[in-house]
Amino acid sequence: MDNVFTNRLRKKNFSLPEAYGSQFVKRVFQRKDMLFALAALLLFAGLSIFAPLLSPYDPNAIDLKNKNLNPSEEHLLGTDYLGRDLLSRILIGARTSLSIASGVVLISLFLGTATGCAAGYYGGFVDESISRVTDIFLSFPSVIFALTIMGALGAGVFNLMLALSIVHWAKYARMMRGQVLSIKKQEFVLSAITGGAGDFYIIRKHIVPNAIATLFVLATIDFGHVILSIATLSFLGIGLPADVPEWGAMLSAGKEFMRTAPYQTIFPGLAITFIVIIFSILGDGMRDILDPNHEGGEID
């Protein structure tokens, strides 16, 4: 990770000789919004890890007599349309939502890095064909693409992850390719190549470490998009079954009760909104620190 930031900055003619990893952390601590977002993210992560301990009820326990309750002492956030405790479901839901989103982002990151790397590094025919494939994937509005795939696969946690990964990886591939192309021209890579180092060695030692930071920024921003996509697909009735405690599914299952028992949409909706805000603050902040000259828009 040594020359990650220096190289990135050198490329942009931005001289900050001591901008190393520790510097990055320091800069994060200088930004109040990122600190706040980080704290909130830790809180969410903690809640989801300890959800089974924290949740006062079994998130799937149905109690028809006590359905659609408003927040009270017994049920801090109220109950849903089958009398399940909302607080417990939101806590357990954090697990589902966050792990699905992480899964999608990690799979896309991996796939995108691998293909993007191959395209950028080898160039020529490999590049041409991989680039064309990514372009094709990118020219399909993502929700509609995911919709078609989910139609083929059917609802379910695994299928949802798969569908969203298929939709999302191309973005990463394109960005990785761009990164590799610019890193390849750098002296230390050129000298490694003339020094006779193997392709895999160069990719592993020089290219990936130097490019990955930018990809992480993209992944951070993308995280929120994935959470929103899950909710959208649930709304269209082809994401997750309503009994899976997941925020998007809860929000869309609760939509018919928006007038009579609004809390079962308000709380999952807010949970989604906050997690998306957290990731967008973190992503923007990281981008600002890594690349103060960016023009914006390229990642959105």
Partner 1 sequence: MKYFIKRVGFMALTIFAVCALTFFLMNVIPGGTAKLVLKHTFVGLEESVTDEQLNQISDKYDLDAPLYLQFFRWIKEAVFRGDIGTSYVFKKPVLYLLALRLPATIQLAVMSMLIAILTGVSLGIYSAIRENKISDHILRIVTLFGVSMPGFWVALLLILIFSLRLKLVPVTGYGSLENLLLPAAALSLHSVAAVMRVTRTSMLETLGQEYIRFAKAKGLPLWKIVSRHALKNAMLPVITVIGFQMGSLLGGAVVIEKIFAWPGIGSLLVDSISARDLPVVQGCVLAIVMMFLFVHFLVDMLYTHLDPRIRYG
Partner 2 sequence: MKCKNSPLIILLIIMLTCAVLTTSGCSSKDENGTRDAVSGMEVTSGSDNASQPEGGSDNTLVLGEMWDIESIDPINGDGTLICEKAAITETLVGANEDFSLKPELATSWEQLDENTWEFKLRNNVTFHDGSKMTAKEVKFTLEKVISENSKVASMLKMDSIEVVDDYTLKIKTKEINPILPGVLHYPDTAIICPSSYNEKGELVKPVGTGPYKFGSFDEQTRILTVVKNENWWGGKVGLDKLILKGIPDPNTRAMAIENGEVDFTVDVPYSETDRIDAIDGINVEKYKTPRVYKLDLNLKHEPLEDVKVRQAISYAINRSDIAENVLYNVGEAAAGPFLPTMVWANKSLKPYSQDLKKADELLTAAGWVDTDGDGIRDKDGKPLKLNLMTYAARPGLPPMAEAMAAQLREAGIGIETEVMEMGSIDDRREKGDWDLYLAAYNIAMVPDPEYILTNWYMTNGTDNGPGYSNPKVDSLINEARKIKDLNERYKKFNEVEAIVYDEQPMIIVAYYGCAIVKKDYVKGYVFDPTAHDYRINAGMYLENKS
Interface positions with partner 2 (CB under 8 A): 60-62, 64-65, 67-68, 81-83, 151, 154-155, 237-238, 241-243, 255-261
102 binds partner 1 (CB under 8 A): no
Residue from 147, 176, 242, 289 touching partner 1 (CB under 8 A): that is 147
Sign of CA dihedral 274, 277, 279, 281: negative
- The helix (run of H) or strand (run of E) holding residue 174 is helix 157-184
- Amino acid code (one letter) for 21: G
Query: Is-contact 161 98, C-beta < 8 A?
Result: no
Q: Which does 196 bind (CB under 5 to 8 A by kind): partner 1, partner 2, none?
A: none
**Cα(237)–Cα(231) distance, rounded to whole angstroms?**
10
Cβ of residue 31: shortest distance to partner 1, in angstroms? 14
Cβ of residue 274: shortest distance to partner 1, in angstroms? 8
Cβ of residue 133: shortest distance to partner 1, in angstroms? 8
Build a one-symbol-per-residue string for 236-275: x at contacts with partner 1 by CB under 8 A, - elsewhere.
x-----------x--xx--x--xx-----x---x--xxx-
Q: Which does 49 bind (CB under 5 to 8 A by kind): partner 2, partner 1, none?
A: none
Token digits of residue 148: 């078609």
Residue from 52, 141, 198, 241 touching partner 1 (CB under 8 A): that is 141
For residue 19, give the DSSP letter: -
Helix 157-184 vs helix 208-235: crossing angle, to nearest 10: 150
Sign of CA dihedral 182, 183, 188, 193: negative
Helix 4-11 vs helix 263-290: crossing angle, to nearest 10: 70
Q: How many residues at the interface with partner 1, by CB under 8 A?
A: 41
Q: Which does 94 bind (CB under 5 to 8 A by kind): partner 2, partner 1, none?
A: none
Sign of CA dihedral 82, 87, 89, 90: positive
Token digits of residue 31: 């930004």
Cβ of residue 61: shortest distance to partner 2, in angstroms? 7
Residue from 124, 154, 195, 196 touching partner 1 (CB under 8 A): that is 154
**Cα(132)–Cα(118) distance, rounded to whole angstroms?**
13
Token digits of residue 43: 């809180």
Residue 61 vs 76, nearer CB to partner 2? 61
112 binds partner 1 (CB under 8 A): no
224 binds partner 1 (CB under 8 A): yes
Query: Is-contact 210 7, C-beta < 8 A?
Result: yes
96 binds partner 1 (CB under 8 A): no
- The helix (run of H) or strand (run of E) holding residue 156 is none
74 binds partner 1 (CB under 8 A): no
Which residues here bind partner 1, judged by CB under 8 A?
A: 132, 135-136, 139-144, 147-149, 151-152, 154, 224, 228, 231-232, 235-236, 248, 251-252, 255, 258-259, 265, 269, 272-274, 276-277, 280-281, 295-298, 300
